Structures are given as C-alpha cells and as structure tokens.
Amino acid sequence: MGSAILWIHVNDGAITSSSNKLLLTICNRLNKALKIKWDDQINGLVGLEIMQHRKGLLISQPKLIHKLINLSYSNITAKSPLPHNCSLISNKAKHMDIPYLKRIGILLYIAQGSRPNITYAVNYLVRFSLGTDSSHWEALEHLIAYLCYTINIGIYINNEHPENKI
C-alpha cells in the first residue's frame, strides 16, 4: 500500500505518503478523531518557513532570526559565525546569565532547524553558559550579526536527485 510519515507537534504537523490512497485513509481516520484543518501545500512548520520551488524545498527561519536580531545590542553584520581566532575562556564567577541563555536557546533551535552551518559556533558559546563576561557577549553578538548578514540562507532539499536526499 505504501509508506507514510506523520509528524505532529502540539497543534502543528505534516503528513506525506508514497501513496495517495494511504494518505487519504490516514487523513480520513484522523478527521474522525480530531478537528483538523488540512492544507495541500506546506508553508511552515513549528517556526520553520518552507518555500516550495520547482526543484525542491528551502527550509529557513527568518522570523526567529529577526526575533534574535531585535534582542541584539549591535547593528553590525558579520561574514563568519565567530570572529577570526576567537578564543574564549570561562569566567571564574559561576552565574547564570539569563539573557545570554535565552539567546543561546534560540540559536540552538535555529542551528537544528535550518542552519547547521552555525552549529559549531553555537555549541562553542554554550560551553561558557555559566560564567559569561564581555568577551562571550561579543562573540554571541558576532554570531547574531552573521545571521543578520545571512538571513535568507537555509537548507535546500533537492527533489531532482532522489539518491541525494539532502
């Protein structure tokens, strides 16, 4: 009959199937149990913006990046995720810097959702979550400035070559 993938997160979700018949069966069964509004095209999912192109999909998170930029203190842009030769050390004073942690949390979600190219930089900054100082904030602001500079970048999934899934 085919295979299907059903993804649900609280009040958002998506379903796809290799078989239209299976897709219809699943949708009908779900409609009997839940009140669901179905869209034929997927435009977004849990903060991800999904743009469909003739040859594939572009997954990005510009709204979340704008939210992060609005939290930022800087109005510069940067062409790399971290400053050149960035070498941070942990501050001896162990304290939780909630605004720093909030930004790191958003960055982790962006890295996981659509920007794997910032994963190293985000994880590097996470190491200093307890005991931040101005050097950590400068590196964090640099990363946010990089996202500002590259806001339209995302993950492109090409559907022309099925052997190359991503």
List, in order, residues 6 or more apart from 107 with CB less than 8 Å away: 68, 118, 122, 125, 143, 144
The tens digit of pLDDT for each residue in 92-115 reads 777 888 999 999 999 999 999 999
Q: Give the type of residue at 15.
A: I
DSSP 19-81: -HHHHHHHHHHHHHHS-----SS--EETTEEEEEETTEEEEE-HHHHHHHHHH-S-----SSS
Q: What b-and-e string marks burial along 124-155, b requiring 16 or more CB atoms within 10 Å of the CB?
A: ebeebeebbeeebbebbbbbbbbbbebeebbb
DSSP 91: -
Asked whether the whole model's pTM tops 0.85, one would answer no
- Average pLDDT for 19-38: 88
Q: Give 145 or 94, the one with higher predicted confidence.
A: 145
The tens digit of pLDDT for each residue in 3-13 reads 888 888 777 78
**Res 166: pLDDT:** 45
- Average pLDDT for 150-165: 77
